[in-house]
Amino acid sequence: MAAKVLVTREIPTAGTDPLKDYDVTVLGDGVPDRETLLEAASGASAILSTVTETMDAGLMDAAGSGLKVIANLAVGYDNVDVDAATERGVVVTNTPGVLDETTADTAFMLLLAAARRLGEAERLVRSGGWEAWGPMQLTGPEVSGKKLGIVGFGRIGQAMGRRARGFGMRIFYDARSRKPEAERELDARRMSLEEILSTCDFVSVHTPLTDGTHHLIGAAELATMKPEAVLVNTSRGPVVDEAALAGALLEKRIFAAGLDVYEEEPKVHPKLLELENVVLAPHIGSASIETRGAMAALAAENLVAVMRGEEPPNAVNSDAHGDAL
Ligand code: DGY
């Protein structure tokens, strides 16, 4: 009998085609509720999950002792309890490398849109309220030649830096270790987070969500930013304290923000929804057709590798292999 594979959401066929040898259940297009998920997971040997499903101990136990792999269709895997998986010998995999350029595109798009007030501008046109061109109308800070601070200088942060170089921006980064190669390529300089926040015109957050990065940018940090600064977050919502950010934007303590991620998705802090100086996107960082196909294909490749007893390309808990491989 073919092993049971649960795919928690409808995904591009590049992710389901490679699963033809298995007994595959694909849940619908929407986010499955917990009960549906627990029921569907029962007896599964493999789960291909997305960021909207919490993969915790309860879910793993509902799947049962035959569960070998959770292949998350995302580079971030804060929705998966990796320790619980490791304890159960379940391999957890993610999809790094295939979404860097697309996510950096989104970050730069938000940077430009927030600086140049694209959200407000579009709302003005659509409302019929645009009466004429105006010399003072909807002006925002110039992007070209300004200082960009990149918080988290991994693959996506560096891809953001490449875009910024095309705009003649000067690059500063905060990372746990120095990145000499990227420094050379982007003429980038490492700085502390404090220095970045107090000196950069634009700050873009690209760090994963961990215990150490929760509310990394909070009220105290926002207070040190320049009044003309723009903050962009395409990493994970809880890295920025949303209530503190709404306060800083409301009081114009910073110029604007561009957000793709939120603390409690799909909820957005109600104060942010009322503000003109924030551009809000619905977690579309990696949402190009090509990239979502590549992510789905890589998640499936990881899943199939574990099912075959092979080393998957992107295990995040290699220590779980003992049981699963
Ligand atoms: C990721 O890959 O972590 C994204 O947030 C999902 O698009």
Residue 322 has pLDDT above 90, yes or no: no
Predicted confidence (pLDDT) per residue in 19-47, tens digit: 999 999 999 999 999 999 999 999 999 99
Ligand 1 center to 100 CA (angstroms): 10
Residue 64 has pLDDT above 90, yes or no: yes
Q: Are 197 and 254 in contact (CB under 8 A)?
A: no
Parse the chain into domains and list their residue ranges: 4-96+289-320, 100-280
Ligand 1 center to 113 CA (angstroms): 21
Active-site option among 101, 195, 228, 265? 265
321 vs 36, residue with greater confidence: 36
Residue located nearest, by CA, to atom 7 of ligand 1: 286
- Name 84's Cβ contacts closer than 8 Å, sequence gap at least 6: 56, 57, 60
Please name the residue ranges forming H helices in the chain: 13-16, 34-41, 57-63, 82-87, 100-115, 118-127, 155-166, 180-186, 193-199, 219-223, 242-250, 270-274, 289-307, 321-324
| β-sheet with 69-72: strand ranges across | 23-26, 4-7, 46-49, 69-72, 91-93
236 given a catalytic annotation = yes
Predicted confidence (pLDDT) per residue in 288-318, tens digit: 999 999 999 999 999 999 999 999 999 999 8
First-residue to last-residue Cα distance in the chain:
20
The answer regarding whether domain 100-280 maps to CATH 3.40.50.2300 reads: no
**Residues paired with residue 70 on neighbouring β-strands, in sequence order:** 47, 92
Q: What is the pLDDT of residue 318?
A: 83
Ligand 1 center to 95 CA (angstroms): 9
Active-site option among 236, 263, 269, 301? 236
Q: What is the pTM of this model?
A: 0.96
Residue located nearest, by CA, to atom 2 of ligand 1: 74
**Fold match flag (4-96+289-320 vs 100-280):** yes
- For a pocket test of ligand 1, which of 98, 205, 286, 302 has the largest count of ligand atoms closer than 8 A to its C-beta? 286
- CA 219 centroid distance within chain: 22
Q: Are 113 and 260 in contact (CB under 8 A)?
A: no
Q: What does the mean pLDDT of the chain come to?
A: 97
For ligand 1, what atom is nearest to the CA of residue 235? 5
Q: Domain 4-96+289-320: give its CATH code.
A: 3.40.50.720
The span from the CA of 228 to the CA of 117, in Å, is 13
Residue 324 has pLDDT above 60, yes or no: no
Ligand 1 pocket, CB under 6 A = 51, 74-76, 99, 285-286
Predicted confidence (pLDDT) per residue in 148-167, tens digit: 999 999 999 999 999 999 99
Q: Determine how many CB atoms are found less than 10 A away from the CB of residue 305.
A: 20
Average confidence (pLDDT) over 46-62? 98
Residue located nearest, by CA, to atom 6 of ligand 1: 74
Predicted confidence (pLDDT) per residue in 117-144, tens digit: 999 999 999 999 999 999 999 999 999 9
Ligand 1 center to 136 CA (angstroms): 38
Residue 279 Cα distances to 100, 111, 127, 223, 282, angstroms: 21, 9, 17, 20, 10
155 given a catalytic annotation = no
For ligand 1, what atom is nearest to the CA of residue 51? 6
Residue 252 has pLDDT above 70, yes or no: yes
The span from the CA of 203 to the CA of 230, in Å, is 6
Q: What is the pLDDT of residue 321?
A: 57
% of the chain at pLDDT higher than 70: 98
Residue located nearest, by CA, to atom 3 of ligand 1: 76
Predicted confidence (pLDDT) per residue in 192-214, tens digit: 999 999 999 999 999 999 999 99
* Closest C-alpha to 114, from 250, 275, 232, 263: 232
Q: What is the pLDDT of residue 323?
A: 41
283 given a catalytic annotation = yes
Active-site option among 88, 116, 283, 292? 283
